[in-house]
Amino acid sequence: MNLRFTEEQEMMRKMVQDFAEKEVQPEVEQMEGEERFPRKIVRKMGELGLMGVPIPEDYGGSGMDYTSYIIAINELSKVSATLGVILSVHTSVGTNPILYFGNDKQKNKYVPKLASGEYLGAFALTEPGAGSDAASLKTKAVKSDTDYILNGSKVFITNGGEADTYITFARTSDEPGSKGVSAFIVEKDTPGLIIGKPEKKMGLHGSSTVQLTFDNCKVPKEQLLGDEGEGFKIAMANLNVGRIGIAAQALGIGEAALDYSAAYAKEREQFGKPIAANQGIAFKLADMATEVEAAKLLVYQAAALVEQDAPSSKEASMAKMYASKTARKAAIEAVQIFGGYGYTEEYPVERLFRDAKVTEIYEGTNEIQHKVIAKSLLD
Ligand code: CAA
């Protein structure tokens, strides 16, 4: 397969790189330090067409290929993993479920607003007792003449409190497991939707993560997404592809860790020579570079499969698992190479170290990615 970017993809890469350096980099420290959601930057991303990269032009998107979208997350995440996850969740699991499973009315009502960045999207699947075992979710949706009444709670909702729409999963029948789950588009001002306090997280401090409570939340019947009972499939289908977005975020973190480390190792002198002149440091850099390159190949291979409409869930899980592990390892090595300075907030590797960890957890832990990969090998 050809892993060289096309001219259009290369233009996207340069545009996002330029945007990230000029508009994001100067804001990162304050945004993370103050745990402030980057509204202004997200608005600018909307103006640049970044909030709807792979969404067809007919629905107000940029109409670009899936690889271009992955490039955007990858490049942004080199500078800010916070913006990487905001974009990935908004597009892969906040917008795509409506584009692929919505009826015409839903698509026309929501997709153009999401693709332009006027609306921000979120995805509400996880519950306090249903994380990896997503099919055990307990939130209930009881049908009345005109509405569904939702009761239950969701946790760890990325973009929560900032989003305009929540793709929400709830049980519409007593059928056990995945069968009785349905999906809904819940608007932020729906009566009975209560946004909880933001979580205090290890990293990604500019991104908002909240609990949601549905307290007799009255969702109009026309907000059902797909058919009743189709919810679990909608969640899985979008996570299959969405995981490549998180893999691209992890790749960006790994690349940043490598770049900072190589530059520092050449500059920092001890015992009268740059620390890079020591094999102990040079070999660390060689390992980091090899693993980052392997992660890149997996990420862009998975993206290319999506573009070709070929089966991609195994490759997406491989990319997510490997890129997240690489990001974590590269960030740990970066802190080691920076020594005492790496342990302080003065240098960005401390942030990379904190941001990397969650890529092994959200959108399916790496243990779940093992399960998906093994299942597709053995079935
Ligand atoms: N793609 C398509 N369909 C799938 C599927 C997949 N990857 N995995 C399962 N299904 C289908 C099955 O084919 C099956 O359909 P049938 O009943 O018609 O046969 C049905 O779903 C149930 O399948 P299983 O019995 O295999 O499902 P399970 O209960 O064992 O769970 C799982 C499978 C892969 C473990 C799944 O629960 C899972 O992915 N868990 C992780 C949850 C997750 O990723 N959460 C992320 C939350 S969102 C987030 O993190 C966003 C953020 O903030 C960054």
Segment 255-294, tens digit of pLDDT: 999 999 999 999 999 999 999 999 999 999 999 999 999 9
What pLDDT is attached to residue 3?
73
Spacing, Cα 236 to ligand 1 middle (Å): 5
For atom 15 of ligand 1, which residue has the closest CA? 233
In this structure, are 365 and 255 located in the same domain?
yes
Closest CA to 306 of 54, 2, 7: 54
Structural domain count, the chain: 3
CA of 353 to the centre of ligand 1 (A): 29
Give yes or no: residues 287 and 155 share one domain.
no
Same-domain pairing of 112 and 133: no
Tell me the C-alpha distance between 339 and 278, whole Å: 14
Last residue of a domain, one of 61, 92, 120: 120
- What's the gap between Cα 101 and its chain centre? 20
* Residues whose beta carbon lies within 6 Å of some atom of ligand 1: 85, 89, 93, 123, 125-126, 132, 134-135, 156, 158, 177-178, 232-233, 236-237, 239-240, 313, 362-364, 368, 371-372
Amino acid type, 69 = Y
Domain membership of residue 345 as a residue range: 233-378
Q: What distance in angstroms lies between residue 267's CA and the mean position of ligand 1's atoms?
A: 47
What's the confidence (pLDDT) of residue 1?
Answer: 58
ipTM (interface predicted TM): 0.95
Ligand 1 atom closest to Cα of 136? 29
The two structure tokens encoding residue 286: 């060689």
Residue numbers of the chain with a pLDDT score lower than 50 = none
* DSSP H stretches of helix in 80-157: 81-88, 96-101, 104-116
Rg (C-alpha) for the chain, rounded Å, is: 21
Regarding whether 199 and 181 lie in a shared domain, the answer is yes
Please report the atom of ligand 1 found closest to the CA of residue 362: 50
Mutate to test the pocket of ligand 1, among 178, 367, 369 (most ligand atoms within 8 A of CB): 178
Which is catalytic among the residues 21, 267, 363, 367?
363
| Cα–Cα distance for residue pair 240/255, rounded to 1 Å | 24
Cα 173 to middle of ligand 1, angstroms: 18
What is the pLDDT at residue 4? 87
Q: 338 with 264: CB under 8 angstroms?
A: yes
Could you tell me if 178 and 246 lie in one domain? no
Annotation marks residue 127 as catalytic: no
CB 209 within 8 A of CB 158: yes
Q: State the closest ligand 1 atom to the C-alpha of 157, by its place in the atom list counted from 1.
A: 53
Q: Coil, strand, or helix at residue 220?
A: strand
Tokens 């919810």, located at residue: 231
25 & 115 share domain: yes
67 and 186: one domain?
Answer: no
Q: Are residues 30 and 163 in the same domain?
A: no
Overall pTM > 0.95:
yes
Contact present, 221 and 148 (Cβ < 8 Å): yes
Both 350 and 301 in one domain: the answer is yes
Assess whether 49 and 64 both reside in one domain.
Answer: yes
What is the pLDDT at residue 379? 87
Q: What is the CATH number of the domain that holds 107?
A: 1.10.540.10
Domain boundary, last residue among 85, 120, 155 = 120
